Chain A
Amino acid sequence: MSETNKKHDIQALKARHKLLNECQYEIKPIEKGYTNRTLYVNISTNEIKEKPVTREMKEKFTGGKGFDLKLMWDAVKDDTRWNDPENEINIATGPIGGNTNYPGSGKSIVTSISPITGIPIDSNVGGYFGPYLKFSGFDALEIQGKAANDIIIFIDGNKGLVQILEAPGEAVDTHILSEQLVEMFAEKEIEKQHISSVSAGTGSEHAYIGCLNFSFYDKRRKVPRLKQAGRGGIGTVFRDKKIKALVVKYSGVKGNSNRPVDLDKLQRTGLKLHNEIMERDDQMCRMRKLGTANLVDVMNEYDLLPTMNYKFGSHEQAKNLSADVFYEQYLTHNVPDGCWYGCTMACSHAADNFKLETGPYKGEIVTVDGPEYETVAGVGSNVGIFDPRTVLEINFYCDTYGLDTISFGTMTAFIMECWEKGYLDIEKTGGLEFTWGNSGNVLELLHQISRGEGFGLIAGKGIRWMKDYFETHFGADRKMMADIGMETKGLEYSEYVSKESLAQQGGFGLALKGPQHDEAWLIFMDMVNNQIPTFEDKAEALHYFPMFRTWFGLQGLCKLPWNDIEPAGNAETDEPNKVPEHVQNYVDIFNAITGQSIDKHELILQSERVYNFQKAFNLRLGHGKRKDDDIPYRSAGPVTVEEYESRQERYDQQLKEKLDIEPEGKSTEEKLKILREFRESEYEHLRDAAYKRKGWTREGIPTLEHLKKIGMDLPEVIEVVKKHL
């Protein structure tokens, strides 16, 4: 028995498994990036079946998130809530997903009806699961129902076998569970890389901000590494369904596993990008060395790094959270850290031999995946923690407990400001002090969520829920909480200060799933490079970029290799912010794999169809209207005197230049009011312009003409939309 087997006693865990159902399926070759079937598993009835992927499904929904949403639309009712059995968790890559040639091609897209927003959430995640699922024979996995007891769904892609196993013994927290699963399902060492699992954690059982961990086995470190489908509480749905883990096993990945029509084109396009990354990454974002955390210094420099619940955009101690600090003191160097094969951008770094100092695993030596920029900003600067070791400890526990670091950071920042304002005290929090930077109590809050105790049960429900609770139970000021509680649609903001970028305010407010930057990240082109000065420019950007970025989710792609590396000469092109050469790369690899002949306009059209379908889905579930795109005022401007006065020169100058108002002689309160009226009206104008450009009414409803124009005038969509026109 190996050391790990002894540690986990795998045989004893397996002995407790009970086979609830299993199904053999025919192994078929992939055709041009598609398997042409999906896998449906109902864990209430233990039904396992294949569903065909029709030509129309491919034409209208392309793949990835499109397939997830299509399957979910057909499965739920108009009043389905997150914890109803008919709610689904769907996972898909896309036709490009799983190729090993072009960097960033291993993403899975997960959807479910979210516990915090009540509408579909989608989350884009690395790791091997999506590609292995496809090569096992399925374009998507659709899970419906609720199990009676904890289960594992196991797919063996080489044997053509799906099993539902009752699994009472395995750990729930992912850092243990993912190791157990690798040991359990790999028969020998070499097979470990062929296992990928999806799991949540004990935190997901007690909070609405649960995330999913997708694993990829690191042959050098000899541990399963983790990437997170973080946003919107899919981990919460997962544990509510009593799913302990999904496991896929597949061996045989090759450069032509997608059976592309033009392998040579695919390889050459991939090689071109590999070469660009090797030559230019050191001068650009340093993703290979530092990962996404390279942004900490940049954001701090431009006053965009969320600090103390987004009050400020920079802090003198932020240098302690610089990616270089993590690199020098914690990260393991010179390891190819791609989360899917062939990604030379390789940004998934890790801190090995990290000794935990708190919680149930205190004293254990672990590998911490990350930290990503969003985590450093969220659980670091935004809550006033500037100690990199603490950030890593919170990062580790969020992951293993299955909690989204972004929502955890943003909601903790909100709690801390409520503490500062006197809405909370020790009695109300059950003994926890939430002064800025109180790392011990932030960690204890995290452990409380895991244990399902105390104030953790309140905090874990997210900001929208807390606002109601604090008003009702503690008499907190509703209006102030509406201004400083950084959520829209119920989802906590991701980690960028958007006050000085109107376009980014729209990027957050109009994002279909809630304020996550992956739909539109326009801060730099708006406020730093001044590339979109007019309302029309901003509206165009709020059309094009969400559509372009949606496409990554249809294909199984990562966004980072699009513009975190740029070819030489990009700045001299007509549209440098689009990175035209890379857009053409995407057109080329899509055509090379699928044999279609789309151009860059049809690429956008593929996204528009799914984007408008998702919009209609929001409407169907009772949301998706103009008021749902309202944003907290702190996203648009300074809420408090303290904030205004911290950047007084900037705001006074804006009053003069934009409103022709002389700030001299006016109190800060008066100036705040004038600035607020101006900025709020700007946001309304932007909304009007952006809706119009998207083909929607002033209420944010897609017009029938627009749906027809983009080929998304499906009867079920029309039926929903016309009720609102």
Chain B
Amino acid sequence: MTKYLKTIPDRCNGCNLCMSVCSQLYFKEDNPELSCIKITAIDETFDMNVCDQCGTCVDECPTLALSINKKGVIMLNKNLCIGCYACVAVCPTNSMRYFQGLTVPFKCIACGACAKECPEKALEIVEEE
């Protein structure tokens, strides 16, 4: 099973509310650099970058701090993480995040908080067998 946050860039209006919701939920701070989802304006459109739970990082992690849960979501065990950021480098979609001052990376866990708030329905949680 895989559970992930699906993006529909055609609908995105670039309001960046998703980034605010995400960073406030996990870091108690409205800071796009601390959001698991990243919206970037490219000309008239918007690139929506977020983890698709592909699992490449799980195979790279030297301490098994990254694992796939029952729902197919990749979770980081911060107690096991030694902050090497190999996962950041290996991520094929550049969706594993790091931020100055943090000693561990962070990523989307498909919680759906941003999808609930998105005014254009450009985000949705998908569960696939």
Answer yes or no: do A and B interact. yes
Given contacts A263-B103, A275-B89, A278-B89, contact A255 B84 (CB under 8 A): yes
Q: Is the CB of B101 within 8 A of A263?
A: yes
Does A336 touch B at the CB level, under 8 Å?
Answer: yes
Q: Is the CB of B89 within 8 A of A255?
A: no
Does A256 touch B at the CB level, under 8 Å?
Answer: yes
Given contacts A220-B64, A263-B103, A341-B63, contact A101 B83 (CB under 8 A): yes
- Cβ < 8 Å to B, chain A residues 320-358: 334, 336, 338, 341-342, 344
Interface mask (B70-91 → A, CB under 8 Å = 1, otherwise 0)? 0000000000001111101110
A567 nearest CB across to chain B (Å): 14
- Cβ < 8 Å to A, chain B residues 59-117: 59-64, 82-86, 88-90, 98, 100-101, 103-104
B90 nearest CB across to chain A (Å): 6
Q: Is the CB of A255 within 8 A of B104?
A: yes
The residue that A336 contacts in the complex, of B82, B85, B86, B98, with Cβ under 8 A, is B86
Interface centre among A219, A255, A278 (most CB of B within 10 A): A255
| Chain A positions within 8 Å of B59 at CB level | 334, 336
Q: Is the CB of B89 within 8 A of A344?
A: yes
| Chain B positions within 8 Å of A254 at CB level | 82-83, 103
Given contacts A219-B63, A255-B103, contact A101 B85 (CB under 8 A): yes
Q: Is the CB of A341 within 8 A of B82?
A: yes
B124 nearest CB across to chain A (Å): 31
Does A442 touch B at the CB level, under 8 Å?
Answer: no
- Cβ < 8 Å to B, chain A residues 241-266: 253-256, 263-264
Q: Is the CB of B86 within 8 A of A274?
A: yes
Interface centre among B64, B86, B101 (most CB of A within 10 A): B86
* A342 to B85 CA separation, bound complex (whole angstroms): 7
Q: Is the CB of B82 within 8 A of A255?
A: yes
| Chain B positions within 8 Å of A336 at CB level | 59-62, 86
Does A83 touch B at the CB level, under 8 Å?
Answer: no
Q: Of all chain B residues, which has the CB nearest A264? A: B100
* A193 to B61 CA separation, bound complex (whole angstroms): 14
B43 nearest CB across to chain A (Å): 26
At the interface, is chain B mostly helix, strand, loop or mixed?
Answer: loop
Interface mask (A644-670 → B, CB under 8 Å = 1, otherwise 0)? 000000000000000000000000000
| Chain B positions within 8 Å of A219 at CB level | 63-64
Q: Of all chain A residues, which has the CB nearest B80? A: A190
| Chain A positions within 8 Å of B98 at CB level | 267, 271
* A338 to B84 CA separation, bound complex (whole angstroms): 12
| Chain A positions within 8 Å of B82 at CB level | 100, 253-255, 341-342
The residue that A274 contacts in the complex, of B61, B88, B101, with Cβ under 8 A, is B88
Does A616 touch B at the CB level, under 8 Å?
Answer: no
A616 nearest CB across to chain B (Å): 39
| Chain A positions within 8 Å of B101 at CB level | 263-264
| Chain B positions within 8 Å of A341 at CB level | 62-63, 82, 84
A283 nearest CB across to chain B (Å): 16
Does A632 touch B at the CB level, under 8 Å?
Answer: no
* A255 to B81 CA separation, bound complex (whole angstroms): 9
The residue that A278 contacts in the complex, of B61, B62, B90, B100, with Cβ under 8 A, is B90
* A270 to B98 CA separation, bound complex (whole angstroms): 12
Q: Of all chain A residues, which has the CB nearest B78? A: A254
Does A277 touch B at the CB level, under 8 Å?
Answer: yes
Given contacts A267-B98, A271-B98, contact A344 B90 (CB under 8 A): yes
Given contacts A271-B98, A336-B86, contact A342 B103 (CB under 8 A): no
| Chain A positions within 8 Å of B60 at CB level | 336, 344
Q: Is the CB of A274 within 8 A of B103?
A: no
The residue that B83 contacts in the complex, of A100, A275, A278, A344, with Cβ under 8 A, is A100
| Chain B positions within 8 Å of A334 at CB level | 59
Given contacts A263-B101, A263-B103, contact A100 B90 (CB under 8 A): no
| Chain B positions within 8 Å of A275 at CB level | 89
* A255 to B80 CA separation, bound complex (whole angstroms): 11
| Chain B positions within 8 Å of A274 at CB level | 85-86, 88-90
Interface mask (A155-169 → B, CB under 8 Å = 1, otherwise 0)? 000000000000000
Q: Is the CB of B83 within 8 A of A256?
A: yes
* A220 to B60 CA separation, bound complex (whole angstroms): 11
Q: Of all chain B residues, which has the CB nearest A271? A: B85
- Cβ < 8 Å to B, chain A residues 66-94: none
| Chain A positions within 8 Å of B84 at CB level | 100-101, 255, 270, 341-342, 344
Q: Is the CB of B100 within 8 A of A342?
A: no
Q: Is the CB of A342 within 8 A of B62?
A: yes
Q: Is the CB of A270 within 8 A of B64?
A: no
Q: Is the CB of A271 within 8 A of B103?
A: no
* A264 to B99 CA separation, bound complex (whole angstroms): 8
Q: Is the CB of B103 within 8 A of A338?
A: no
* A219 to B67 CA separation, bound complex (whole angstroms): 13
* A275 to B91 CA separation, bound complex (whole angstroms): 10
Q: Is the CB of A193 within 8 A of B63?
A: yes
* A193 to B65 CA separation, bound complex (whole angstroms): 13
| Chain B positions within 8 Å of A256 at CB level | 83, 103
* A467 to B89 CA separation, bound complex (whole angstroms): 52
| Chain B positions within 8 Å of A101 at CB level | 83-85
Given contacts A254-B82, A256-B83, contact A271 B88 (CB under 8 A): yes
* A334 to B55 CA separation, bound complex (whole angstroms): 13
| Chain A positions within 8 Å of B86 at CB level | 274, 336, 342, 344
* A264 to B98 CA separation, bound complex (whole angstroms): 10
Interface mask (A429-448 → B, CB under 8 Å = 1, otherwise 0)? 00000000000000000000
Q: Is the CB of B90 within 8 A of A255?
A: no
* A263 to B86 CA separation, bound complex (whole angstroms): 16
- Cβ < 8 Å to B, chain A residues 583-633: none
* A267 to B90 CA separation, bound complex (whole angstroms): 15
B40 nearest CB across to chain A (Å): 19
A544 nearest CB across to chain B (Å): 30
Q: Of all chain B residues, which has the CB nearest A218? A: B62
* A267 to B61 CA separation, bound complex (whole angstroms): 16
A691 nearest CB across to chain B (Å): 43
- Cβ < 8 Å to B, chain A residues 206-259: 219-220, 253-256
| Chain B positions within 8 Å of A253 at CB level | 82
Given A267-B83, A341-B84, A342-B84, 11 other A-B residues pairs in contact with their CB atoms under 8 A: A101-B83, A101-B84, A193-B63, A255-B104, A263-B103, A271-B85, A271-B89, A271-B98, A275-B89, A341-B82, A342-B82
B residues with a Cβ closer than 8 A to A are: 59-64, 82-86, 88-90, 98, 100-101, 103-104
A residues with a Cβ closer than 8 A to B are: 100-101, 193, 219-220, 253-256, 263-264, 267, 270-271, 274-275, 277-278, 334, 336, 338, 341-342, 344
7 contacts between A and B (CB under 8 A): A101-B83, A255-B103, A271-B89, A274-B85, A274-B88, A336-B62, A342-B86
Q: Which 4 A-B pairs have the closest CB atoms?
A: A255-B83, A342-B84, A274-B89, A255-B103
